[in-house]
Structure 1
């Protein structure tokens, strides 16, 4: 199994394009950053679990307005440590301020960035290590079933083949209550990505394969949108970013 490269997260907002993609439950804003904006009358609830994606917060900045608590999981202990640094305002924590201000601007009030940071810190209740390819449900035994699962740019980087991808998706589906929502941000037809001049392989995903995997895991797809290519080809070979909204079928057992 491939291990994702550990590095300090960075965001280049100047290369982002504000191009909303509307779905039945939320808007996806600024595809180049993976920033999500939840509609006030859309996906919401008590608990959101963010699966993987490293020690980042940009995909959670809007979610903290729609969920009472957020549980963050990361693939490695190092990512968990980095996340805790930011949550606890420890020295050396990554400065997400420019991203927070940008999200607040998208939401209508850039001046509320400090309030947004503090609200997210209060809303994140736990940070857990979780390798979805070696899923241990005991780790989550004390957690209530989630209202929403968020997977952003993660499974394709750590799953070596489609069978592993399907199994991982089924594993995490057990954390979601029937009728709950799955939100996914996926790099489509990606062969590799580059970090610090090092090339890392990525699982090549096409729309049909992804839809099949989601349905096999017990979900009903509500929306599937694809944006144009938004990352530089020097960093990643791909054919666009997809945004998927699905619901876990009621009455379907894990």
Structure 2
């Protein structure tokens, strides 16, 4: 789900960590513009978002393609994680790093009350630009309001009329956006401190590696970006050899099973605290991809 990286950047600086020098590059809201959304894989960001994240994914009477509508399960999974584990870190200083988050901000909705900063990164500049459109309240940004309503009103039970708006504004105030390269020795180019309290990744790492060994090496790099007792949370598309973005079919050279994923996390050094599996019905396993299902895993660094 990755393509080529644009080198257009605003400012760069260096921060020294205990292991290496991270060269960070940071994107500002002034860079978000529709004309930059021209990557070959995400040639139409809005089509991709509409395909994967339907207008109303929480209404069974509206959703047409249930084969890829895992939004209710996904939002519940993130909500459960933060409700259960947020006391494990200092909410006033904690940093969340999203690796290869694409054009999607939904993983951060449940996180916002429990972290001080969120760094959303992706390999594709067009995806970063889409997130920046949302951050700057650009009317062309994708509308995530129903996802906010699902979390704030349905899952958290908040009843204040302005609760959703407050969460949107809160997230915008702590959200930073930048570029990453999961194949580089230094993965993270948009964060002020490393290692971090929470590393997160959604539906990416499993389709950008060419071997299981390379996959393990990547997870180890993320392990090094996690503080001791810090968390790694991930969503993974399982046993997928091809997937579609729009009508374009993309091969995946290294499909991973749930056991492969767990093995890679343990090999990198993480302890797995929890895993869940969303099973795709057999009759739907050729719609959008040939994936057998999806996993949500919570892991912790010793």
**Interval containing the TM-score (normalised by the shorter chain):** 0.7 to 0.9
Distance 1:34 1:53, change over 3 A: farther
Distance 1:16 1:201, change over 3 A: farther
Deviations 1:52-85 (CA, angstroms, capped at 9, x unpaired): 1202111110011221211111111221121111
Q: Which residue pairs with 2:174 in the alignment?
A: 123
Deviations 1:179-231 (CA, angstroms, capped at 9, x unpaired): 10110111111222212111112331112211121112111111122122279
Larger radius of gyration: 2
In 2: Cα distance, 1:55 partner to 1:152 partner: 11
- 1:225 is the counterpart of 2:276: yes
In 1: Cα distance, 2:71 partner to 2:267 partner: 28
RMSD of equivalent CA atoms: 2.8
In 1: Cα distance, 2:165 partner to 2:56 partner: 22
For these two proteins, the number of residue pairs brought into alignment is: 239
In 2: Cα distance, 1:17 partner to 1:219 partner: 37
TM-score by length of 1: 0.83
Q: Which residue pairs with 2:113 in the alignment?
A: 65
Quick check: 1:2–1:159 contact (8 Å CA) kept in 2? no
- 1:186 is the counterpart of 2:228: no
Q: Which has the higher helix share?
A: 2
- 1:53 is the counterpart of 2:109: no
In 1: Cα distance, 2:59 partner to 2:263 partner: 30
Structure 2 stretches lacking a partner, 5+ long? 5-40, 61-69
SS at match of 1:50: strand
- 1:30 is the counterpart of 2:56: no
Q: Which residue pairs with 1:96 in the alignment?
A: 144
Quick check: 1:47–1:146 contact (8 Å CA) kept in 2? yes
Deviations 1:132-186 (CA, angstroms, capped at 9, x unpaired): 1123268368414211111111111222222221121112222111110110111
In 2: Cα distance, 1:131 partner to 1:97 partner: 29
- 1:240 is the counterpart of 2:293: yes
Greater shift, 70-79 or 41-50, is seen at 41-50
Q: Which residue pairs with 1:25 in the alignment?
A: none
Greater shift, 227-236 or 65-74, is seen at 227-236
